[in-house]
Structure 1
């Protein structure tokens, strides 16, 4: 049954009133209070299941080493979210691994031509039998895998993983991205709100993606991935799509 006040107006005017009401309600939702920063830290890495197989990620990358087949992935995934919540950029030196903690730095060596490159883990995969790592387009080109598609490689953690905590967490700082704007003034408004909510290490980070400038608002900082994940869960109640990223 139409609202008694709205029903007195013509149908076109009722439609205009409905749109105005929806706009006002959306504006109120957009001004929802930002959850304040707390000192709590989260749980550990969670197991996940793909194609009926359950994988239990490692809590520490220290001493990890393996040999097997590498593949690469690019155009079909460029611009999409990775497993750690970052936007996948095929032109960055990154890779996907099924078990290593996110943001682990690994040295991948192509055993067929001797070429070697340090990459950062920011995604999960590959979920194809016999393959141990999926390289970004940039990583594949650096290792000479791009043309052939696959190659036998060695994957080993770079260095001693300095700063790994006793429970295996990687050190920060880490941030939670809560917004991306093409106008700097909009980013500055959200940045001010994050500071007021207690996220003293927040920043505005500029990046150009496919010719478009973005001013990204990062809430922070957090000492470990787990601490950042707790903040992400808290902030995602207001900022849908918030994700963790490394420095």
Structure 2
């Protein structure tokens, strides 16, 4: 009767995992960075409305809307004009204007100095997991 070698599958699986490990760890460790224009939202008609995360919109909260970053992601938003930064949490989807990369809450826009103009150039960078945990 032929015998089946049972140790073949685990070695193959291990080799495949080791081959893809550098790709996976790079994707996890590398922060996402994007530059472009930010605007703010949170006028009277939006206050209290549900965001994509299910939370109610609070203009004073440090939150943002981004089209692709996972809900709950914390990011640093830095104004290219004022140099001021704020940490926000993505809790909504948007912006729905193709010229913008992010919509900030009114409070976050105020902190980086774009509230008056309504729009301004920014750079956004996702925070590493360890930095996110420190701020929670």
Q: Normalization by structure 2: what TM-score?
A: 0.72
- Structure 2, gaps ≥5 residues long: 1-27
Is it true that 1:112 corresponds to 2:81 in the alignment? yes
Q: Could you say which structure has the greater relative contact order, defined with CA pairs below 8 angstroms and 6 or more residues apart?
A: 2
Q: How far off its partner does 1:62 sit?
A: 5.0
Give 1:69's aligned residue: 37
Give 1:128's aligned residue: 97
Cα deviation 1:170-191 (Å, max 9, x = unaligned) = x9xxxxxxxxxxxxxxxxxxxx
Return the structure number with greater helix share: 2
Aligned 1:130-149 pairs, distance under 5 A: 130-149=99-118
Distance 2:59 2:92 in 1: 12
Distance 1:98 1:119 in 2: 15
- Structure 1, gaps ≥5 residues long: 1-59, 163-170, 172-246
Distance 1:62 1:136 in 2: 26
Runs of 4+ in 1 over 4 A off after TM superposition: none
Q: 1:94 aligns with which of 39, 58, 63?
A: 63
Q: Normalization by structure 1: what TM-score?
A: 0.40
Give 2:11's aligned residue: none
Question: Over aligned residues, Cα RMSD in angstroms?
Answer: 2.3
Cα deviation 1:101-125 (Å, max 9, x = unaligned) = 1111100000011111111100000
Greater C-alpha radius of gyration: 1
Aligned residues: 107
Is it true that 1:85 corresponds to 2:54 in the alignment? yes
